[in-house]
């Protein structure tokens, strides 16, 4: 079976990100910095043959996904399961303010339970893998070549990404994990062993390249 590479992309920056305010399902646009981050991701994935690109319906994610779809040639699909965590009335409030009042964001009333975020994120992840396999099979006239890796990308939000990575990776990898806006992580399937991380929380500016699609590692300055 061909190896499957799944790229987990955090959308570009918004003004609310920069202010440390909870975004949740508020549909805010990318900032100028976020637009630059989206453009940089588009350049990074120019040589990566993505068979499926799924995006949250929120503008900050969809506008991050579009340059990637344009440059890679992968089909873009909006998937409601990738929308940000629902924070209810606390969206638009500083996270510190909510934590001071309730002890944690998880304890605040009307906030979507982590289990629900995890369930829908895992469904979208599995769907993306299946879509990549189906696309490769169509192009190959029946079944994908086993020597060619399959690529899929999910463009979504910090909470969704952390729920996914928390289920797929050892807890020790999550303890100090940072996922900046405009960042990408690369997971690869290992037959019989689940998923392993090749990259976590990288940004285009640091010179790292995806393993799938060409030479990886840090590009020379």
pLDDT of residue 215: 57
Q: Which domain holds residue 163?
A: 4-218
Tell me the CATH number at 96: 3.40.50.1240
In tens, the pLDDT along 47-89 reads: 899 999 999 999 999 999 999 999 999 999 999 999 999 999 9
Which residues make Cβ contacts (< 8 Å) with residue 24, sequence separation at least 6?
A: 84, 85, 86, 87, 88, 90, 91
Dist. CA 23–CA 30, nearest whole Å: 12
User: Is residue 203 very low, low, confident or very high in pLDDT (cuts 50, 70, 90)?
Assistant: very high
User: Is residue 141 very low, low, confident or very high in pLDDT (cuts 50, 70, 90)?
Assistant: low
In tens, the pLDDT along 151-184 reads: 999 999 999 999 999 998 877 677 788 999 999 9
Question: End-to-end alpha-carbon separation of the chain, Å?
Answer: 37
For a pLDDT cut of 70, what percent of the chain falls above it? 88
Given its phi and psi angles, is residue 58 left (phi above 0), alpha (psi -120 to 50 degrees) or beta? beta
Q: Which of 205, 167, 217, 212 is nearest to 43 (CA)?
A: 205
Q: How many domains does the chain have?
A: 1
pLDDT of residue 128: 96
pLDDT of residue 218: 46
For a pLDDT cut of 90, what percent of the chain falls above it? 77
Q: Which of 5, 125, 141 is nearest to 72 (CA)?
A: 5
């Amino acid at each position: 079976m061909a190896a499957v590479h799944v790229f987990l992309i955090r959308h570009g920056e918004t003004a609310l990100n920069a202010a440390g305010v909870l975004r949740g399902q508020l549909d805010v646009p990318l900032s100028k910095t976020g637009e630059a981050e989206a453009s940089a991701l588009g350049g990074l994935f120019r040589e990566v043959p993505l068979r499926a690109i799924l995006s949250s319906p929120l503008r900050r994610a969809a506008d991050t996904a579009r340059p990637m779809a344009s440059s890679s040639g992968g089909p873009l699909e909006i998937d409601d399961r990738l929308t940000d965590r629902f924070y209810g009335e606390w969206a638009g409030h500083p996270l510190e303010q909510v934590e001071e009042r309730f002890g944690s964001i998880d304890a605040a009333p009307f906030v979507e339970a982590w289990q629900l975020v995890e369930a829908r994120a895992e469904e979208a992840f599995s769907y993306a893998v299946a879509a990549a396999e189906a696309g490769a099979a169509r192009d190959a006239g029946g079944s994908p070549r086993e020597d060619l890796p399959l690529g899929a990308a999910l463009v979504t939000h910090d909470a969704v990404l952390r729920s996914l990575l928390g289920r797929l990776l050892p807890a020790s990898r999550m303890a100090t994990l940072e996922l900046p806006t405009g960042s990408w992580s690369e997971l690869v399937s290992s037959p019989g062993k689940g998923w392993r991380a090749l990259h976590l929380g990288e940004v285009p500016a640091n010179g790292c390249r995806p393993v799938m699609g060409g030479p990886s590692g840090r590009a020379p300055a």
